[in-house]
């Protein structure tokens, strides 16, 4: 039996995560609070880890009760707190971040599903503890550093590396599974970007990270991973959708994870 061991949401897209004991699936199937806020440039594009390594040099914490964001420079002592639930607080935060990035930025809010990384698959991303530890071993990194690089919402407490690869099938199919009373559909393995290559505090990249990752992923591929969705080895973590009937359901650390059948899907 596998259980849910960690829940992490990222209230401000690309900033630090917030660990929770429980979370509720909101509208569109994302966890409430996850990426509810995002930073945008003057052209309306995300200011995120894909766009700039500089964002890694921000350290932040978020109070879920007040929606206050405390943020500062990784290499500085000063910390600033902004009430993101208020338009004036978001504006003040945007002004501070404008100085940090040396370009005009704003902080925006979407409390009806947030700003997901995958515009089609809004559900929580899933990884296993065994996978985190395996990648940590590949690069001689602490597991917590790897968690911050990969930025999964849900961690399943299985020690088996790539356990979550069981939760996707071929195109036109999904794997049904439950976490506690919440139903999920596992859709595809997540295509990774430049973000995991960088240290989550400094933004410094590991040389040849992608090439080394691909080599190790191919060498350790479990028998249950291959499918036509796994079209290249720079994929890790699971993208999901939550059926609408499970929106509003709470999940909690310790919930049992049950794997169901492969089902037909239009996705």
Tell whether 13 and 45 lie within a shared domain: no
Tell whether 142 and 196 lie within a shared domain: yes
Other CB atoms within 10 Å distance of the CB of residue 228: 11
Closest CA to 215 of 140, 138, 141, 111: 138
Tell whether 169 and 246 lie within a shared domain: yes
Which of 91, 109, 127 is the last residue before a domain boundary?
109
Contacts of residue 266, Cβ cutoff 8 Å, sequence gap at least 6: 172
When pLDDT is cut at 50, 70 and 90, the band that residue 141 belongs to is very high
**What is the DSSP pairing of strand 126-128 with strand 154-156?**
parallel
At 198-214, the pLDDT tens digits run: 999 999 999 999 999 99
Reported as type and span, the H/E element at residue 100 is: helix 87-101
Cβ contact 154:4 at 8 Å: yes
Which of 87, 109, 131 is the last residue before a domain boundary?
109
Specify the CATH number for the domain of residue 126: 2.40.33
1 has a pLDDT exceeding 90: no
Domain count, the chain: 2
Q: What pLDDT does residue 18 have?
A: 98
Domain that includes residue 60, residue range: 37-109
The share of the chain scoring above pLDDT 70, in percent, equals 100
Reported as type and span, the H/E element at residue 127 is: strand 126-128
Tell whether 184 and 75 lie within a shared domain: no
Full-model pTM: 0.96
């Amino acid at each position: 039996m596998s259980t849910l061991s960690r829940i992490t949401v990222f209230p401000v897209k690309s900033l630090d995560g917030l660990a929770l004991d429980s979370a509720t699936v909101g509208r569109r199937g994302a966890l409430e609070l996850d990426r509810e806020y995002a930073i945008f440039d003057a052209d309306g594009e995300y200011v995120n880890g894909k766009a700039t390594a500089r964002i890694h040099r921000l350290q932040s914490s978020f109070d879920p009760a007040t929606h206050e964001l405390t943020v500062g420079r990784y290499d500085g002592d000063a910390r600033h707190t902004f009430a993101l639930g208020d338009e004036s607080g978001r504006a003040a935060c945007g002004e501070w971040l404008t100085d940090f990035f040396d370009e005009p930025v704003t902080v925006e809010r979407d409390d009806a599903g947030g700003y997901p990384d995958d515009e089609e698959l809004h559900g929580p991303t899933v990884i296993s503890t065994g996978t985190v530890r395996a990648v940590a071993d590949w690069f001689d990194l602490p597991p917590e550093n790897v968690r911050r690089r990969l930025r999964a919402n849900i961690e399943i407490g299985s020690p088996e590396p790539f356990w979550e690869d069981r939760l996707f099938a071929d195109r036109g199919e999904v794997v049904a599974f439950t976490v506690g009373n919440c139903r999920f559909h596992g859709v595809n393995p997540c295509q990774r970007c430049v973000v995991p290559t960088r240290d989550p505090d400094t933004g410094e990249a590991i040389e040849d990270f992608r090439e080394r990752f691909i080599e190790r992923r191919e060498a350790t591929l479990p028998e249950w991973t291959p499918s036509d969705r796994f079209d290249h080895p720079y994929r890790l973590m699971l993208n999901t959708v939550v059926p609408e009937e499970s929106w509003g359901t709470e999940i909690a650390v310790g919930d049992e994870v049950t794997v169901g059948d492969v089902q037909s899907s239009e996705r």
